[in-house]
Amino acid sequence: MVLRDTLLYLAQNDNLRNFVITNSATRSVSRRFVAGEALDEAIEATRVLNQRGMHVSLDHLGENVSDDREARAATQDFITVLDAIKQAGIDANISIKLTALGLDISQQLCEENVRRLLEHAHKYSIFVRIDMEGSPYTEQTIDITLRMHQQFEHVGTVIQSCLYRSRKDVEQLIAQGVRVRLVKGAYKEPRTIAMQEKKDVDHSFVQLMMMLLLRGNYPAIATHDEAIINATCKYARDHGISKEAFEFQMLYGIRRDLQEKLVKQGYNMRIYVPYGSQWYPYLMRRMAERPSNLMFVMSNALR
């Protein structure tokens, strides 16, 4: 808890932020996990990953905007990303956060911005993933996704296996044919609504993975956990599920060796590629959400 609080404090510390983003050594380290600050850098990173046989999901970093103008500007930024994907001819979709599109301001504003994005994405046949944020947003995220999916088939969302409610949510999303990215969940959630032990989260992940592979619509199994990846591959083989029926997803810069191994084995691999000027708080908050990520990131930086 002390480490978590320290990391959250550092994420908001302007003096440290200024030092980190202007220091050549720390900027170099950040580029392992963030594609850059500008869209053209993210496009180039995507092109390189495509050449290695990997798909991409682009995420323009930013969340929790506080006024209408910021929300509409974020929406326009994503429209620009969609245009750039089409113009560059790269293999990529996008991931968005509802709080970046105004959910903290009003759900009506957020839905207007999401609909505008989906209408633009529809013209290019580009899939849009609505990211899952902390548990205060879970219900709204599911509801908005289901409502949007009634009009736009090219939208999906994310489910965190750590939450007790996730089995019910997965059943609902499967019934509606919504594409799901399955993750363990990086947010620190209260024990009243979320599993606290890794073994329980992992067990839940495997159970949800089996549901999604068997009955879901092109699910994304997002994990760097080799035991779970092996369990996924075995379940698919044992049940005659084609490698084309699902994909693995991993974070940009983490376990590149495993990414390449799975591609060579014929599995679909999509890399989550974040970019933007807010890379410093993105990295710090990711580690703060679950401080064990700090050692995970440090150890994987050497792979």
Contact 229, 248 (CB under 8 A): yes
Catalytic annotation, pick one of 131, 169, 179, 202: 131
Using the Cα atoms of residue 25, residue 31, residue 37 and residue 40 in order, give the sign of their dihedral.
Answer: positive
Distance CA 5, CA 24 (A): 26
Pair of tokens at residue 231: 């369990």
Is the separation of the CB atoms in 234 and 19 below 8 Å? Answer: no
Known catalytic residue at 181: yes
| Count of all residues that appear for the chain in the document | 303
Residues 6 or more apart whose Cβ sits within 8 Å of residue 135: 163, 187, 189, 190, 193, 194
- Pick the catalytic residue: 179, 181, 285, 286? 181
Half-sphere exposure of 29 toward its Cβ, with a 13 Å CA cutoff?
15
Any catalytic annotation for residue 237? no
Collapsing DSSP states into helix, strand and coil, what is residue 15? helix
State both tokens at 207: 């159970």
- Cβ atoms within 10 A of the Cβ of 65, count? 21
Positions marked catalytic:
131, 181
